Structure 1
Amino acid sequence: MDVKKNNGLVVMDNKLIRASYKLTVNEIRLILVAVSQMPKDDKPVDPKKAYYITKNDFVRLGVEPKNVARDIRSACKDLLSRIVTIKTPIGDLDTHWVHNVLHFKSEVFEKLKKEHPDAESDEEFISSLRLHNLMDSLPMIANSDDNLIARVVLHEDIIPYISQLREQFTQLMLDDVVDFGSFYSYRVYLMMMQFRSTGICTIKINDLREALDLKDKYEATKDLKVRVIDTAVDEINEKSPFNVTYEMTKTGRKFTHLVLKFKPKKKNTITAKDVFRDPDTVDMFTVDGLNDKQLGRIARNPAFIAEYNHLVSPTSPAGQSQQGWEFEMVNRLKNDPTQFNKRPIRDYLEY
Structure 2
Amino acid sequence: MENNLVVQSNELILATYTMQKTDKELMLACISQIDSRPDAPEVTKQTEFKVSVDDIKSLFFGKKSKNEQNVYRDMENASKRLYDVDIVMSLPENKILQTRLISSIVYDPDNGEVSLSFAEKILPYLTQLRANFTKYKLLEIGELSSIHSIRLYELVVMWVNQFQYSKDFTLEEFKHAMNVKGKYKQFGHLRQFVIETAINDINENTNYSVSVEYQKKSRGKGFRGLKLSFHKKTLDKLTGADGALSQAAIQSIVDSVQFMNDYNDHPSLSYDGKMQTDAFKREMINIIQREPESFNKPNKGLESYLPKIKH
Q: TM-score range by the shorter chain?
A: 0.5 to 0.7
Aligned to 1:274: none
Task: Give CA deviations for 1:101-126 in whole Å, capped at 9, x if unaligned.
Answer: 122121xxxxxxxxxxxxxxxxxxxx
Q: Quote how far apart the aligned CAs of 1:239 are.
A: 1.6
Q: Which has the larger radius of gyration?
A: 1
How far apart, in 2, do the equivalents of 1:92 and 1:251 lie? 33
Greater relative CO (CA pairs within 8 A, separation 6+) = 1
Question: What letter corresponds to residue 236 of structure 1 in structure 2?
Answer: I
Q: Quote how far apart the aligned CAs of 1:175 are.
A: 0.9
Aligned to 1:157: 121
Contact between 1:21 and 1:211, CA under 8 Å: does it hold in 2? no
Aligned to 2:76: 73
Aligned to 1:19: 15
Distance of aligned partners of 1:11 and 1:94 in 2 relative to their CA distance in 1, 3 Å threshold: same
Contact between 2:44 and 2:120, CA under 8 Å: does it hold in 1? no
How far apart, in 1, do the equivalents of 2:168 and 2:58 lie? 30
Task: Give CA deviations for 1:102-155 in whole Å, capped at 9, x if unaligned.
Answer: 22121xxxxxxxxxxxxxxxxxxxxxxxxxxxxxxxxxxxxxxx3x41000001
Contact between 2:208 and 2:231, CA under 8 Å: does it hold in 1? yes
How far apart, in 2, do the equivalents of 1:257 and 1:151 lie? 41
How far apart, in 2, do the equivalents of 1:191 and 1:203 lie? 13
Which residue of the other structure, out of 191, 211, 222, is the alignment partner of 1:225? Answer: 191
Contact between 2:36 and 2:129, CA under 8 Å: does it hold in 1? yes
Where structure 2 has 5 or more consecutive residues not aligned to the other structure, the ranges are: 237-311
Q: Quote how far apart the aligned CAs of 1:242 are.
A: 2.2
Aligned to 2:265: none
Contact between 1:191 and 1:201, CA under 8 Å: does it hold in 2? no
Aligned to 1:281: none
Aligned to 1:57: 55
Aligned to 1:208: 174
Q: Does 1:42 align with 2:31?
A: no
Contact between 2:37 and 2:130, CA under 8 Å: does it hold in 1? no
Distance of aligned partners of 1:226 and 1:94 in 2 relative to their CA distance in 1, 3 Å threshold: same
Distance of aligned partners of 1:181 and 1:103 in 2 relative to their CA distance in 1, 3 Å threshold: farther
TM normalised by structure 2 equals 0.65
Question: What letter corresponds to residue 76 of structure 2 in structure 1?
Answer: R
More displaced stretch, 210-219 vs 26-35: 210-219
Secondary structure of 1:12 counterpart:
strand
Secondary structure of 1:79 counterpart:
helix
Aligned to 2:242: none
Secondary structure of 2:230 counterpart:
strand
Q: Quote how far apart the aligned CAs of 1:250 are.
A: 5.9
How far apart, in 1, do the equivalents of 2:26 and 2:13 lie? 16
Contact between 1:245 and 1:262, CA under 8 Å: does it hold in 2? no
TM normalised by structure 1 equals 0.58
Q: Quote how far apart the aligned CAs of 1:75 are.
A: 1.0
Distance of aligned partners of 1:78 and 1:256 in 2 relative to their CA distance in 1, 3 Å threshold: same
Contact between 1:21 and 1:212, CA under 8 Å: does it hold in 2? no
Task: Give CA deviations for 1:320-346 in whole Å, capped at 9, x if unaligned.
Answer: xxxxxxxxxxxxxxxxxxxxxxxxxxx
- Runs of 4 or more, structure 1, over 6 Å off, are none
Question: What letter corresponds to residue 98 of structure 2 in structure 1?
Answer: D
How far apart, in 1, do the equivalents of 2:54 and 2:234 lie? 27
How far apart, in 2, do the equivalents of 1:256 and 1:219 lie? 14
Secondary structure of 1:16 counterpart:
helix
Where structure 1 has 5 or more consecutive residues not aligned to the other structure, the ranges are: 107-145, 268-351
Distance of aligned partners of 1:70 and 1:203 in 2 relative to their CA distance in 1, 3 Å threshold: farther
Q: Does 1:184 align with 2:132?
A: no
Task: Give CA deviations for 1:300-332 in whole Å, capped at 9, x if unaligned.
Answer: xxxxxxxxxxxxxxxxxxxxxxxxxxxxxxxxx
Q: Superposed, which structure 2 residues align to 1:319-334 within 5 Å?
A: none
Contact between 1:13 and 1:166, CA under 8 Å: does it hold in 2? no
Aligned to 2:134: 170
How far apart, in 1, do the equivalents of 2:49 and 2:81 lie? 18
Q: Quote how far apart the aligned CAs of 1:9 are.
A: 0.3
Which residue of the other structure, out of 99, 105, 117, is the alignment partner of 2:103? Answer: 99
Identity among equivalent positions (%) equals 26
Indicate the RMSD between aligned Cα atoms, in angstroms.
2.4
